Structures are given as structure tokens and as C-alpha cells.
Chains A and B, each alone.
Chain A
Amino acid sequence: MAKIRNDYEHSWWPRLLQWLEDGSTRLDDELTAEMDESREGHLLPTHEDVAAHEAKLEERRNQKLADELAMYAHAHEWTRTKGAKLANWAYRIMSVVICVSIIWVLLQTAAYLPPFGSPDNPVNNEVSQRYIEKGMEETGAVNIVAGMILDYRAFDTLGESNVLFIAACSVLILLRVSSDKHDPTSVHQLEVEADDRMYEPKNDIILQHTVAFLVPVILLFGVYGVMNGHISPGGGFSGGAIMGAALILYLNAFGFKRTERFFTFKTFKTVSVCALSFYAISKAYSFFTGANHLHSFITPGTPGKLFSAGLIPYLNIAVGAVVCCTMYAFYTHFRKGDM
């Protein structure tokens, strides 16, 4: 009960009442006035007066306490039954209202969009015309999407890779457990993570045989997607994601001991930083020479060949490496807090 009373007295309502009543409670004022009245006839209050006054004071205090307790109980009961029901209803109504209003706004916006696939749309301007007509000739990429994202708009793709790298960094900051052997808290955390994995099936023979058959194929498909990004659909991002998925599958089947032999935190650091800096430096060179009309040793080559399209295959490899490492790092840090 003390908690309820405390809660009540610290809430805004009694404080407002007290402020309205000029700082002091009404009961105190009344009792002081009564004391002054009883003193009128005598100079000093007698023993009887004081005793009667004390009794009255005690009685009033008890009365007030009982009133308060009843009020608190009533308020508490109300919030638990009727108030909770009301809040639930308000919550439901508000959620429906918010959903409907968002749907309405989006539908209104969609109504003002130009029709899908119409030739008069504002997206069909000279930029896309140039990309479609001269893309293959200028970039050397048969896959026009790769020509766009890795040549005309390579700066955007560098930003995307950096976003992914920054996401990986934040996952590292949040989830990485320091592998310091002398720090008892980090050792304890690593043990907790290991305990968490204890009940999972290990060395599942069916999974291991399936994975031994599947992972090389998936990895090869990922590498194919990365290497042929400028010829056929695919490219750095999707190929890298496929390779990362293959690594995660391998890790699930054979455990951390097997993957740690070829993929540690050091590998992740080296590969990501090297790939991102290669991307930035090579693209800076190409932008610099292109903007200043200097002679560049990067040529589009013969479209359709594996090593053609200037920088695009190498940039695809760099993006694929970053994406693959990042996906794998995400997974291991979620599972183990380390790599």
C-alpha cells in the first residue's frame, strides 16, 4: 500500500490540488484555526484542551488516511480493469486509424503517378536513351545494368559498398565479444555464447554429405555470377551474397573449427579494406582521366569477352568480396560474438 500511496502523491493530480490550495493541505489549516479558537478564553491551553485536541487530530488523521486508502484502492482497481480495457480499445482504434490514413496517402500518391510503361513518362529522357544506345560501346559491358552501376554510376555503387561495410562495423561494435583471455567478463560472455550452441546437433551426417556436395556448386555459381557480371545477369552484389550464403551453409554443417582455418577476423579485415580501397583508387583514376580527357589505359575491349569492359569485372570482384565477407561476418557475430 505504501507504494501506491507514494505513486499517488508523486503523480500530477495531488500536486495540482496542493498547488491550488496554496501550498498547505486543508486539514492542517482547519486544525490550526481550531487550536486558535479554543485559545480565545484562556491565555494558555489547559491539559484537557490539549488532550481533546490531540484526540481530535488523531481521529481526523485516521479518517483521512482511511479515505485516502479507499481512494487509492479505487484508482488502482480502475486502472487495472476499466482503464486497461479503455487503453486497449484506444490502442486498437488508433492503430486502425493510422493504418488507414497511411494507406490513403499512399493510394493518393499512386493515383498521381504516370502510367506504367508509357513512352511519355518522365523517366524516358535523354539519360536512359544515351545509356541504352551508347552503353555497350562506351563501357564494353553487354549487361547494360552492370555498365550503368559500375561505370556511369560507379560512385553510387562505392557508396553502397561503404554502407554495407559500415553496417558490418556497427554489427562488430554491438555484437563482438573481446577475445581477451585475461578479461574475465569477456571469457564469461564467450562461454555463455558457447553454452547457447551446446544443444544444437553437431556433425549431422546427412547435412554434412549434402553440404559437401552442394557448397562447391553454390560457390562456383557465386563466382560465375561475379565474374560474368558484365556479360550476363548477376554481378558483384548478388554473386557475393550467394558466396556468403555458401560459406554460412558450410559453417553450419562443419562448425567453427573448420571455417576458422581459412576465414578469421584478420581475413575479413584484409579482404574488405583491400577491396574497398582498390575500388576507390581505381575508380578515382578512371574519373580523373575521364573528366580531364586524358589518355587512360583502361579500354572497353571487345564486348562479350570475359576480360573486357574495362574496370567492370575487377570492380565486380571487389564488390563481391566485400559482400561475401560482410554476410559471413554478420552471421558469425550473431552466432558467436567472434569470427
Chain B
Amino acid sequence: MEFLNIILLVFIIVCAVSVSLTKNLFTSIVIFMSQSLAMSVIWIMLESPDLAVTEAAVGAGITSLLLFVTLKKIHAIDQQKKGATSHGENQE
């Protein structure tokens, strides 16, 4: 159990650092999601299942969903995928 705890904590730190170091915004949101998921497992191991459920639902679910939609709204996903000639720009 101790070993799993250490692995999860190291995973969280690595995720938190790589979120800010990743150039691609889409990738960084996915990393952020996985960090939230590991955090919710840690909450369970700290015997607070209330927080674990909330973390999984809000941190990994809703927050990243809203971030994805924001990326879509500012046409960040299209541009990173297709370069300058995205249909998002042509419509403006």
C-alpha cells in the first residue's frame, strides 16, 4: 500500500510539472485529467471517499470538459492540428 501511495504521489508531481511544460494545450488538458484521477485514488487511500467522488466527477470530468470546450471555442484545437489553414479561421 505504501508503495502504491509513493507511485501515485510521484505520478501527481510528474503530471503537475508536465502540464505546464507541454506545448500542446490538448495534451496538457489530458495530463491534467489523469492527475485528477490519481488524486482521487489518493483521496480513497486517505479514507475520504466523499472527496474522491467529487474529485473524480468535478476534477477529471467537468473541469476538463469545460477546458476542452474552451479550446474548441477559441479554435485552438483546429489550429494545432491543421496549422494555419483551419476551417475555423476561414469562417471568421
Contact B50 A143 (CB under 8 A): yes
A241 with B58, Cβ < 8 A, contacts A199-B87, A331-B65, A334-B66 known: yes
Contact B91 A334 (CB under 8 A): no
- A-B Cβ contacts below 8 A, count: 51
Contact with B along A302-339 (1 / 0, CB 8 A): 00000000000000000000000001001100110000
Q: Which of A186-226 contact B (CB under 8 A)?
A: 192, 195-196, 199, 225
Shortest B54–chain A CB gap in Å is: 4
Shortest A275–chain B CB gap in Å is: 18
Shortest A250–chain B CB gap in Å is: 13
Q: How far is the CA of A244 from the CA of B49 in the complex (A)?
A: 20
Contact A241 B61 (CB under 8 A): yes
The reply to whether the CB of A253 lies closer than 8 angstroms to some CB of chain B is no
The reply to whether the CB of B73 lies closer than 8 angstroms to some CB of chain A is yes
The reply to whether the CB of B53 lies closer than 8 angstroms to some CB of chain A is yes
Contact of B91 among A196, A234, A235, A331 (CB under 8 A): A196
- Chain B: interface residue count, which band? 10 to 19
- Chain A: interface residue count, which band? 20 to 34
The reply to whether the CB of B10 lies closer than 8 angstroms to some CB of chain A is no
Please give, as numbers and ranges, the residues of chain A lying within 8 Å of B52 by CB-CB distance.
233
Contact A245 B62 (CB under 8 A): yes
Q: Which of B30-80 contact A (CB under 8 A)?
A: 48-50, 52-54, 57-58, 61-62, 65-66, 69-70, 72-73
The reply to whether the CB of A242 lies closer than 8 angstroms to some CB of chain B is yes
Instruction: Point out which of A234, A237, A241, A331 has the most chain B C-beta atoms below 10 A from its C-beta.
Output: A241
Which residues of B does A touch, CB under 8 Å? 48-50, 52-54, 57-58, 61-62, 65-66, 69-70, 72-73, 87-88, 91
9 new A-B contacts, CB < 8 A, other than A145-B48, A195-B91, A334-B73, are: A233-B52, A237-B58, A238-B57, A241-B54, A241-B58, A241-B62, A242-B61, A245-B62, A334-B70
Listed from nearest, the 4 A-B pairs whose CB atoms lie closest are: A233-B49, A241-B57, A334-B69, A238-B54
Which residues of A does B touch, CB under 8 Å? 143, 145, 192, 195-196, 199, 225, 233-235, 237-238, 241-242, 244-245, 248, 327, 330-331, 334-335
